[in-house]
Structure 1
Amino acid sequence: MHNTTVDAGAKATQGIKEINEDYAGFLIPNDPYLAKVKGMAFCIADGVSSAEAGKEASETAVERFLSEYVKTPDTWSVSRCGEQVLSAINLRLYRKSHEFKQDNKGYLTTLSCLILKGVHGHLFHVGDSRVFRLREGEFEQLTSDHVTYLGQGKSFLSRALGMDNNLHIDYCNFELKEGDRYLLCTDGLHDFIPTAQLLQTLYLNEPASEITAKLCAQAAENGSDDNISCVVLKIQSLAHQDENEFTDELFRLPFPPALTVGMKLDGYRVIEELFSSPRSQLYLVEDEHSGQRFVMKTPSKNFEDDTHYIDRFLKEQWIGSRINSPHVVKIIQHSRPRTALYYLMEHLAGNSLDHWLQQHAPVKPKHAISMVKAIAEGLKAFHNNDAIHQDLKPGNIMVLADGTIKIVDFGSVFVAGVAELYRPIEHFGALGTATYSDPNYLMGKNAAIQGDIYSLATICYEIFTGQLPYGDKIEECTSMFDYDKLRYKSASKHNPIIPVWFDKALQKGVSFDLTSRYETIDSMLADLTKPNPIFLKPDPEPQEASSLVFWKIVSGFWFITLILMLYLFSQSTR
């Protein structure tokens, strides 16, 4: 298949303003397979200056869209890829806006993204930046301005990225033609160049990069009082195969058969079966071309007709590819066509934390806290991408030969902002899962980051003591009533060297009550690494104990009074 080819250029200038809050960029993959399955992406954004974080918002929107779009599963349609990525970016900006205490601050930006794949264009748009098409002499605006006019020349932006936790974005797709020219621009350009002048410049037989520079210069010469930015692309040739047909081929990928040592799949030779369950399999494979070794995850044929399972399996790959941390396993981008459904991860030579603890317990405190910090850094990488792991346990943590800690498995991860309803974690009899998962998850409540904090605190407790904070009976709990009957077991009873302040930090981390549990990983780590003065104070005497003392005093008083009365009566009778 011959891919669509274009000539493109982008330019963003600050104009007469001190700060450039516009951002423009594009991505044309060099890898032929990636270009085939994802196409090309072109973006422009105009940060809202009155929000005071417009520069960061526009840069975040464009950079994250370009980087995350190509990481989406190759079996997803363009519309779904764009909507999923934009929903996640929108919620990220929305939450960052709410970190400000001032009402006038926020991460707000317009965003217009054009995807060219095969013989079709796909447009995603929010705000008042514009996308134009010049085709065979006809100049057409493809977007609508999301602006509300108040009269007397006053108006305000009615829709923007980061404005609301629910994103309302315009989407359309259309056929491409050779010779098409597209212009993406911000209001600092389109409001200051007359249509005739725009057309004259777009018609120039010059590279797209030079056309963008001339357009920005013209807007400045015409008195633009804003940042000036644009993206120009000229379609030189079109793909021979319709990308819808190609996507259908990908979506019909069959489940691979059960693989055995020595079998080959798409140039990957099976070295060893690492794991097998009713839901999936993991194989150590070797690339016959490069000699590199990877871990291949394949879906179970038990769910071959389950569309929800297939969708979740595909989403795992996307979730993992968004997270970049030295403490999280890396997803490998596909570089050649597949004949079956699977994805690849980096191969980690080491042991799972549960097996490692069996071999190395007891762990020295300095080493133990460094392990906890590494796990915490991995978890924070999830949270920084609006993802909650939900199933953190020693079996999902790898300890490599050099001591590096890596979190693995994305099967239960929940990503905020994606277009799906929240579904609590599902447990399929995985041994020990209920031991480490927040009871709120198991009861159907979304505890968000605090749920991962519970798991981290439980694992920390086990690393330091070899035991569980509520004992083994927690695995028998089936309702919150069962959990309420459990009592926290002081870590110092299992490991006498644990100080009281460290023990109380662990107790707070595994509290069943969300109002008593830490809200951030950093706050828990702070209390685990430095004594919190509050935890050094003696515990207040329980109310029950105080009442008991009171009644003992009263009873003693009445007893003494009775003895005294008996004595007085005995004296009076003599």
Structure 2
Amino acid sequence: MAELALQLQFGALSEAGIKAANEDAVACQLPAAAYILQHKGACFVLADGVSTAEAGAQASKLATERFCQEYPQTPDSWSVAYSAGQLLATINNQLYQFSHKFAHEQKGYLCTFSALVLKSRTAHFFHIGDSRIYLYRDGALQQLTQDHITVLSEQRQFLGRALGMDAKVEAQQGSLALQAGDRFLLTSDGIHDFLQPAELTQLLATVADPGQCSRQLLDRALANGSDDNVSAIVVDITQLPGQSLDDLSSELTRLPFPPALSPGMKLDGYKVLRELYASSRSHLYLVEDEATAEQLVLKSPSQNFADDVLYIDRFIREEWIGLRIQSPRVVQVIRQSRPRTFLYYLMEHLQGQSLEIWFAAQPQPLKPSLAIKLVKQIAEGLQAFHRMGAIHQDLKPGNIMRLADGNLKLVDFGSVYVAGLAEIYSPLHHEGALGTATYSDPHYLLGHNSGVQGDVYALATIAYELFSGGQLPYGPAVEECRVASDYDRLRYRSANQFNPLIPTWFDRALQKGVSLDLSYRYQTISQLLTDLQQPNPAFLHEEVKQQSKSNPLLFWQLLSGFWFITLLLVIWLFLLRR
């Protein structure tokens, strides 16, 4: 007899009501794949943009969509509470950064947030603000969430907590055992502020179809004078799984590390073809999916860290980061559809070689058109990380694959930092003679996280190397630096001394990109790219100013030439008008 599975029905609506625009948002994710439904569950999310915030609508839309899209991508080994907590931290950080980025426009990206995750025989809820989640069971209505409202007086109260309000988010969370026949209700204040509990109970009890129930909730609230946006989600539990998954055991029990694999061995339906790479930290194998004949790369942790909890958590997070980042310039991590008996994850198999190996075999220096094409592709990959609030932190030619068609893809998520997550920063581990110390921001190596600017430094260093024929901005001495005073002694080497074709403005852009002074270094990848592709007037002005100091006669010659050209232009315009 087939094992019972979780079955549910739902209806969701969100409308502007009498307002001109709708700042509410709802999103629902009911996985079609039975494996994902069993191991991650279904999620239902409602958010209400804070009316006093200019970007409340954008905040609620971003929060609901990202949660529903990314929650199923979290690792199977993470509990529901941990998965939701990590995801909410990243969403909150993005909204918080948006609010500060547009502070001059007084745009606040704030919203309330309520999420319901149904997995196996358990309901999990997460809540911030004054939207609500109710449970209707056996004829009784229970409010599961509490309103985060601070009351000053009968006439004065304000929202005490919202997503995007602070750098760290504190969400109410809870769970309860499901029963067949349970009905859940998520509402914005445009609904529950205008419907008494008895009226909510009556509608939930008498309108069987969840879609029609949502419709009547909105209509009744508007009829009662609701002057706000109106949103509701109704979810019915129609069948529970035959056996309960022990979530606590799942959270505490770690998958074992796989043994050393050799060609011909099989693991969860994947046949090992050959080993691709091995180090003291991890192993890569080329495998074939026996069900589809597709070739993939399997990454497994090293037995050296079998008892290192922080290493295990970091390895699991690698898979999550890779699943979140979707870009043609970043290696694709594969979402698995079969249970795992060991700890590992899968990636697409890239046919090609590392940029490090390819570059070493090329005539030096590269043609400028080819070099700038490579830099732009690397930049696209980095920007895909940055859009998701992640920093690569270990960008180097050895972590960039050049495919057979000449395109590039970034690989290796082992050192990625995700903004907004509570974690202790630790300096990068370096392996090999040409290690990450060559390309990593010295601020990283000294234990300080410089965020996006760290990736800017790495990209500018690689650009310098590509255009200068394999040289480095600070020379080989950067490899010997250990403390801050060592870096203070470094001096930038002009790139055009190695390649005379490099113009001064281009060299100035490279110098700014690898500056050890964060206040001078570019803030974003796009700023660096702009100055590498077109002359920055500030650099040109600086060049003329320097030349004028060293050669006063040249300065007056340039000035006289400028006025002479201006005079010819005036005469030409005068003749045209005659």
TM-score normalised by the chain length of structure 2: 0.91
Tell me the distance in 1 between the aligned counterparts of 2:68 and 2:310: 27
Amino acid at match of 1:438: D
Residue in 2 that maps onto 1:550: none
Amino acid across the alignment from 2:165: M
Residue 257 of structure 2 contacts residue 306 of structure 2 at CA under 8 Å; is this kept in 1? yes
Aligned twin of 2:530: 526
1: CA distance between counterparts of 2:207 and 2:289?
46
**Cross-structure match for 2:265:** 263
User: Using a 3 Å threshold, how does the CA distance of structure 1 residues 286 and 314 change in structure 2: closer, same or farther?
Assistant: same
In structure 1, C-alpha distance between the alignment counterparts of 2:66 and 2:247, rounded to whole Å: 28
1:121 and 1:383 map into 2 onto residues whose CA distance is 33
Which residue in the other structure is 2:459 paired with? Answer: 456
Measure how far apart 1:392 and its partner are: 0.3
SS in 1 for 2:361: helix
Task: Give the counterpart letter for 2:385 in structure 1.
Answer: F
CA-CA distance at 1:192 after TM superposition:
1.3
Shift of 1:205: 5.3
1:541-556 correspondence to structure 2 within 5 Å? none
Q: Indicate if the aligned counterparts of 2:79 and 2:251 stay in contact, CA closer than 8 A.
A: no
1:515 aligned residue: 519
User: Whole-Å Cα distance in 2 between the matches of residues 250 and 147 of structure 1?
Assistant: 35
Structure 2 counterpart of 1:427, which letter?
Answer: H
Relative to the length of structure 1, the TM-score reads: 0.92
Q: 8 Å contact 1:188–1:224 — kept in the other structure?
A: yes
C-alpha deviation, 1:245, in angstroms: 5.0
Matched-pair identity in %: 54
Could you tell me which residue of structure 2 aligns to residue 479 of structure 1?
A: 483
Of stretches 210-219 and 249-258 in structure 1, the one that deviates more from structure 2 is 249-258
Partners of 1:324 and 1:330 within 8 A in 2: yes
**Structure 1 gap ranges (5+):** 547-574
* 2:415 matches 1:412: yes
Q: What's the RMSD between the two structures over aligned residues?
A: 1.8
Is the CA contact 1:76–1:247 (under 8 Å) kept in the aligned structure 2?
A: no
1:467 to 471, 483, 497: 471
Mean CA deviation greater in 485-494 or 441-450: 485-494
Return 5+ residue gaps in structure 2 as ranges. 551-578
Superposed CA offset, 1:240-280 (max 9, x none): 23232585289431111111112111111112211100000
Q: Offset at 1:65? A: 0.5
Distance (whole Å) between structure 2 residues aligned to residue 533 and residue 102 of structure 1: 26
Inter-partner Cα distance in structure 2 for 1:245 and 1:52:
40
Question: Within 5 Å, which residues of 2 pair with 1:140-219?
Answer: 140-204=142-206, 206-219=208-221
Q: 1:27 to 1:247 in 2, by over 3 A?
A: farther
- Cα deviation digits, residues 521-562 of structure 1 (max 9, x gap): 1111111111112222456999xx99xxxxxxxxxxxxxxxx
Q: Contact conserved, 1:180 with 1:234, CA < 8 A, in 2?
A: yes
Displacement of 1:231 = 0.4
Per the TM alignment, residue 191 of structure 1 is displaced from its structure 2 partner at its CA by 1.2
Q: Does 1:432 align with 2:419?
A: no
Among candidates 392, 397, 401, match of residue 400 of structure 2: 397
Which SS does the other structure have where 2:39 is aligned? helix
The alpha-carbon deviation at position 494 of structure 1 amounts to 1.2
Which is higher, the Rg of structure 1 or of structure 2? 1
Residues 75 and 250 in structure 1, CA contact (< 8 A), matched pair in contact too: no
CA offsets per residue over residues 404-438 of structure 1, 9 Å max, x none? 21111010011111132333333355742110111
Aligned to 1:551: none
How many residue pairs get matched? 544
Change (3 A) 1:170 1:103: farther
Secondary structure of 1:275's aligned partner? strand
Aligned to 1:199, the other structure's residue is in SS state helix
**2:390 aligned partner, one-letter code:** A
Q: Distance in 2 between matches of 1:120 and 1:47?
A: 29
Q: Secondary structure at the match of 2:157?
A: strand
| Structure 1 residue 382 displacement after superposition | 0.9
Which stretch has the larger CA shift, 237-246 or 324-333?
Answer: 237-246
Residue in structure 2 matched with residue 357 of structure 1 by the alignment = 359
1:142-199 CA distances to partner (integer Å, 9 max, x unpaired)?
Answer: 0100111121422111100000001011011111111111100001011112222222
Distance, in Å, in 2 between the alignment partners of 1:137 and 1:109 is: 32
Residues 118 and 240 in structure 1, CA contact (< 8 A), matched pair in contact too: no
Task: State whether structure 2 residue 278 is matched by structure 1 residue 276.
Answer: yes
Match of 1:321 in 2: 323
Cα gap change, 1:197/1:84 in structure 2, threshold over 3 Å: closer, same or farther? same
The equivalent of 1:19 in structure 2 is 21
Does 2:398 align with 1:387? no
Q: Cα deviations across residues 443-490 of structure 1 (Å, max 9, x unaligned)?
A: 111111111111000000111122111112221222222222222221
